[in-house]
Amino acid sequence: MRNCIILAGFAFVCVFAGGCIERELTVNTRPEGAKVVLNDEEIGISPVTVSFNWYGTYKVDITKKGYESINTSKKLKRPREDYFPFDLFADIFSKPGTVRSYTWDFELSAYQPPQRQEIINRADQMKTMAQDSIGDTSD
């Protein structure tokens, strides 16, 4: 009976005395002030920090007036200590308030409007492709 009480006390301490690990992602852009969207949800204006629960691949969209938009996907890789059974011990024995931080940096390039001749060339290419796909009907 005494062993059961000791075991129950140990389990109680492990569950309630351990810290909880917080995870946060910071997105920086150069220049700052760009709108940041993760998985189709706006998280704020850079630099911006957001809490997250899941590792994996995130869809990233970054926009700022006067700069080329960035539309990409980026992987947030899970560390070894976040795999079972290590994650259990990491959560139990971590200090309260432990934060795992990750940072992504993006460089925005200035928007370069296309030249007039470039637009005309692309239009001609599209016209040729369209005619080839439906067959030449000019008789």
Instruction: Identify the burial level of 38 via C-beta atoms within 10 angstroms of its C-beta, where 0-12 means exposed, 13-18 middle and 19 or more buried.
Output: buried
What's the fold here for domain 20-129? Answer: Immunoglobulin-like (2.60.40)
Whether the CB-CB separation of 73 and 66 falls below 8 Å is answered with no
**For residue range 76-120, what is the model confidence (pLDDT) as tens digits?**
998 877 767 766 666 666 677 778 899 999 999 999 888 899 999
The per-residue pLDDT for 134 is: 85
* Residue whose pair of structure tokens reads 């590792």 in the numeric block: 55
Give 120's Cβ-side CA count (13 Å radius).
3
Please tell me whether the overall predicted TM-score, pTM, comes out greater than 0.85 for this model: no
**Cβ distance 47 to 32 under 8 Å?**
yes
